[in-house]
Copies of this chain bind each other. A is one copy, B any other.
């Protein structure tokens, strides 16, 4: 192949399930799995074999067209997106760019593959139009509601508090992977809606430069990718990200036992992504199994704690006396040693042979201080949910 393999990170390959018997996906051996390729994403995509990718996640430049500096009421200056990769001469130039990369993406996808593209009002209407013009079939538009967006400092508009994702297939007839029951489980027993409330990427998750600044101006939260990948791909699938940046897609794909292919132009971003992904520990094959049958309901979604990383996938939970245990799975369900699986409540009831059980008070996490009920963690999130 003509492209340069900058990174060869095969740790995910080792632990990824070969194939899920219920959703076996054929992986092309010639693919540069779990690598980051440096270069123009259209060229790189065209160098890869046709119909070889299960899922594409793309966070393309938004073409923000920002004016001069923007300062906060306290006179501090907002660090805007001024990178050259977000600059286009005209809307036509942006449309052409969009057309080209989407066409290359379309070629790569398997017939029942799917693509996610995200954006803001600056670009998402262009993207959606090009997708439809290229005969992609929109399955949903998804709203990422940010719990903590940047305010509108001048009081001139509504707070721009969301971004939009489009989930589409290559055709109307395509039958994309969609884990309906897993999503329902994650959403407290009711259907997952088209609006997702998640915080932006801050704190330790946000990659920093040596100088302490942002490594990437638009790093996406892993919780967002968690939901995308869990809902519309299977373990062992190949997920391609043509605008890889600092590798959120790769990190979550590795964690969830999927293969990734990252395309990125900037060497700096690639270096950050490489280090980041190397640190990721894949969840075990049991942990990433998800609910395939209908389950009943916890009152507040335990999955939120998992999705937001407050409880890691695979974490062992304990009963108050510590004698009963279960492991946390990716969709917020639990699995215990005898093979029983279900919600935190169901599993608690099963192990105690009781008709019902409040999983929130039954289950505990173990740390150096001893056992902590998971309800304590829920309390944290509740404050956010109440406002959101």
* Chain A residues engaging chain B, CB cutoff 8 angstroms: 71, 75, 78-79, 81-82, 84-85, 87-88, 91-92, 95-96, 99, 120-122, 124-129, 131-135, 138-143, 145, 149, 151-152, 155-162, 164, 166-167, 178, 180-181, 183, 191-195, 231, 293, 354-357
Q: How many copies does the complex hold?
A: 2
Residue pair B158, A140 in contact (C-beta under 8 Å): yes
Residue pair A191, B151 in contact (C-beta under 8 Å): yes
Residue pair B355, A162 in contact (C-beta under 8 Å): no
Chain B residues whose CB sits within 8 angstroms of the CB of A183 once the complex forms: 158
A178's partner among B157, B166, B357 (CB-CB below 8 A) is B157
Question: Cα distance A355–B96 when bound, in Å?
Answer: 40
CB nearest to A96 among chain B residues: B81
| A72 CB to nearest B CB, Å | 12
CB nearest to A139 among chain B residues: B157
Most buried by B among A84, A122, A157: A157
CB nearest to A125 among chain B residues: B128
| In the complex with contacts A75-B355, A149-B193, A195-B145, A293-B85 CB distance below 8 A | no
A75's partner among B78, B96, B143, B356 (CB-CB below 8 A) is B356
Most buried by B among A122, A162, A357: A162
